[in-house]
A and B are shown apart, each in its own frame.
Chain A
Amino acid sequence: MTASALLVEKATKIFPGVKALANVDLELKSGEIHALLGENGAGKSTLIKIVTGVYRPDEGSVSVMGSSVDFSSPRDAFAAGIGVVHQERNLIPRYSVAENIMIEQLPTKWRLIDRGEMNRQAKHWLGALDLNIDPDVPVNRLSVAQMQLVEIARALSQQSRILLLDEPTASITENEIKVLFDLLRRLKGDGVAILFVSHKLEEVFELCDRVTILRDGRNACAGVPIEDLDKQRVVAHMVGREDALGDIGERHASIGKVMFELKGVSTAAGHQDIDLKVHKGEVVGLYGLVGAGRSELAKAVIGAERVTGGEVFVSGERATVRNVQDALRRWRIGYVSEDRKQEGLILLHSVAKNTAITVWHRLGKFLNLFSDRQERDAIISFVQKLDVRTPSLEQDVANLSGGNQQKVSVAKWLAAEAEILIVDEPTVGIDIRTKGYLHRLVWDLAEQGAAIVLITSDLAEMVLLADRVVVMRDFRIIGNLQNTYNYEQMSRRIMGCIHEADVVVGRADGAPALKGA
């Protein structure tokens, strides 16, 4: 039996109003992939931050390769051979991809940075992830998924013996996940100890050897071999009781007239000939690989990017959406951004203020004055519906766990009561139980008469929720498929669509993409 690569004993961490960790144990062995699971706010990220020197534990000990350590900064952890990808993105926006990847270990020549060598090394690690981007591009030009991959590449480049991954698959699609998993298995073969956090249990069962589960900051179990668990048992550990996963129920679709329509729309972001119809009461899924232009299309629709051609109709009326305000108040279109930290939330404001931001314009009568009470009343039901775990509505959003932040960024758009709602990766980082609530909520909204466009990279989620799946690639729409609710079949047809488009796009005459049935 090898010594444990990483051992955490009786770790305790307390934040104002929250006991994030209480006597938590974690053991990571060399050559294993160890899953760390728990609901939103259970303490997973806090544990990782303690191990990597971001926080100091109030009590408890950490040892690496058998010797006890006391990190006072992330640099110490790096020096001790621990590589990490945190849940939140930590890239320096204007720096290039290569600079971000190599930042801890910039190659130099004559004491000056050797850019050629830097780019070469960066390219190597990007290649390991099958990521084909120019290392010279500044990272703020990348999509959320690409940024996540760049951070993984950075952690790989450090070639550490211990690798901690906090929800690395949250915003990447199946193909990239597959490449990542192959790579992780190879690293495991080389004896690297890997900690893997995810809310997608299928991934955990596919990849991991042992499991540690946290519930409300305590160990629900520690280092249990995966063979001894099944999905029900894992959920029971996470939630603290059996039969915790409610059924999502039936979809009672009643699809009405066309509520929202794009005709031959092109945008400054590069979309061409976009035709899209969404009916009242319908959930339309928008699928595509990373970089297909889905979020950009959503932004154009709400007036955050320029529409350069074509026509937009809302309830049959020709609509020119001048800006986001216009979209929300006049046309009642809302957009839940995929990037909660940059575009969704105001981290240093409270849960209440973040949720109410879309309803302020409705509050207040005399001189537009309103009170905290009015604000609270307007939003509390949405915060509760999504089960946001927070000590109070006055807590700063920055202090919530990642999944709970995501819930706030969705809750604010529920509160807006838009008639056309575009939800972009709404369940990223959300635990299974809340994901169930949220799925039901999407259907409820549709059944109450909203038109919903669902963008998600989680194909299973798409097949579960959408009535119709529209497939995008390279800023064009290449397919329009009725959902059969059969995962295998849908996934084959969608991938077929994308593959077929490969051939079409490759043709010199640039013939328009095929439209599926």
Chain B
Amino acid sequence: MTWSHVSRYLIRAEWAPLAGITLFSIVALSLIAPAFLTEYNLFVMLRILSVTSVFALAQMVVIAVGQMNLAVGAIGGLVAILFGGMMEVYGVPVPLAMLIGAAVGILTGWLNGAIIAYSGINGFVVTLAMLSVYTGLNYGITESIPFYNMPQVLLDTYDGKIGPVPNILVIPLVAAALVGLFLFRTRAGRYILATGGNPSAAALSGISIRRSVILAHTVSGALAGFAGMVAVARLGTAEPTIGVDWLLPSFAAPVIGGAILSGGRVSVIGTMVAVVLIVLLENGLLLARTDPYYVQFFLGVLILAAVMFNRWRAVSAEKVTAARENAS
């Protein structure tokens, strides 16, 4: 594989324009705002990214099967406070607490999936109800009071490095790689995509729709729970409010990244680039001293703009090729 192969692949990739825009934003921001390229600011952004990327992947997996998971934030919040509570109140060691946290994420996701698959009720409705159930549990347990004393090893590990690479970068990279392998390179992942693409065709090809739906939600729950634990490490406290503001970006990233909401098509790289773009947007607005209350507004505008751009590109791609082939 030569360099020209690689570059052609990069140019043709669906997420290429998105990556271009992201790069452009980075350059523009570093020219306009001197504070942008400081090590401190980059670390602030990476810390946010380490959480956002994981819950965006959690949503993406469910979008792949053709459904929505409105409970990603609720699962993240519940796992976060259980994780923090275990360590503070019972002194559970970090690795064990993480295992239990992961188990809770898996369990809640599985429960979502199982209810949807066995009841036949729409995933939107079920996860909306479960959003309330998990949030209610969260507030019931904590009475809205955070756990403040997180073990130092957790915080140190989070801010540590593997070789030269900071862990806050390792987390999103590894998560994305694993999800990519799972969705595109394993049977189970392919079954999920096929189910999202056309459930009746998938079923008549010998794929169990029920199993695909449950698995997608289970993986989503595991990722959401993991995002919750990363958020605890990032904040240094287990806040009951972790996850309340995840919903919008969790959809925004996959959709900007090229996912089709009716299912069957998602892009891991696209989603990750979109997460970077979203984090950049928030950071840029912050540096520009925009009222933080307006961040939502701009995020909404970004989603619309990106989705329209994708649409425009799909339509004009036809014309461009047409022109090129006419010329030849």
Enumerate chain A interface residues (CB-CB to B < 8 A): 12, 14-17, 19, 58-59, 302, 304, 323-325, 327-329, 335, 337, 342-349, 353, 357-358, 360-361, 363-364, 367-371, 412
Contact = CB atoms under 8 A, between A and B. Distances in A.
A325 B208 contact: yes
Interface string B194-224: 1001101111111110000000000000000
Interface in B249-268: 260, 264-265
Nearest to B197: A346
B68 interface: no
29 contacts: A14-B326, A15-B321, A19-B325, A58-B322, A59-B326, A304-B203, A324-B204, A324-B206, A325-B207, A335-B204, A337-B204, A342-B198, A342-B200, A342-B201, A345-B198, A346-B264, A347-B198, A348-B260, A349-B194, A349-B197, A353-B190, A353-B193, A353-B194, A361-B206, A363-B187, A367-B186, A368-B186, A370-B185, A370-B186
B15 interface: no
Given A342-B201, A346-B198, 7 more contacts: A14-B326, A16-B321, A302-B204, A327-B206, A345-B201, A369-B181, A412-B205
A357 B194 contact: yes
B55 interface: no
Contacts of B260: 348
B317 A16 contact: yes
B83 interface: no
B204 A14 contact: no
A204 B188 CA distance: 47
B201 A346 contact: yes
B208 A349 contact: no
B191 interface: yes
Contacts of B321: 14-17
B318 interface: yes
Given A349-B264, A353-B190, A16 B318 contact: yes
Nearest to A58: B322
B288 to A, nearest CB: 39
The 8 closest A-B pairs by CB, nearest first: A346-B197, A328-B206, A14-B322, A16-B321, A325-B206, A346-B198, A357-B205, A368-B186
A344 B204 contact: yes
B200 A343 contact: yes
A380 to B, nearest CB: 18
Nearest to B205: A357
B193 A349 contact: yes
A300 B168 CA distance: 53
Nearest to A374: B185
Category for how many chain B residues contact A: 20 to 34
B197 to A, nearest CB: 4
Output the residue of B203, B204, B325 with the most chain A CB within 10 A. Answer: B204
Contacts of A19: 325
A344 B200 CA distance: 8
A371 B265 CA distance: 18
A368 B191 CA distance: 12
Given A14-B326, A346-B198, A361 B317 contact: no
A344 B198 CA distance: 9
A124 B193 CA distance: 44
A16 B324 CA distance: 10
Interface in B100-116: none
Contacts of B265: 348-349
B5 to A, nearest CB: 15
A313 to B, nearest CB: 21
Interface string B126-165: 0000000000000000000000000000000000000000
Contacts of A327: 206
A475 to B, nearest CB: 20
A412 B200 CA distance: 15
B194 to A, nearest CB: 6
Contacts of A369: 181, 185-186
A412 B206 CA distance: 12
Contacts of A361: 187, 206
Contacts of A371: 185
Nearest to B320: A16
B193 to A, nearest CB: 7
B324 to A, nearest CB: 9
Nearest to A347: B198
Nearest to A59: B326
Contacts of B186: 364, 367-370
Contacts of B200: 342-343
Nearest to A346: B197
A328 B321 CA distance: 41
Contacts of A324: 203-207
Pick from B181, B186, B197, B201 the residue with the most CB of A within 10 Å.
Answer: B201
A348 B197 CA distance: 7
A236 B203 CA distance: 41
Contact of B207 (A342, A345, A357, A370): A357
Nearest to A15: B318
A59 B194 CA distance: 38
Interface centre among A19, A327, A353, A371 (most CB of B within 10 A): A353
B293 to A, nearest CB: 39
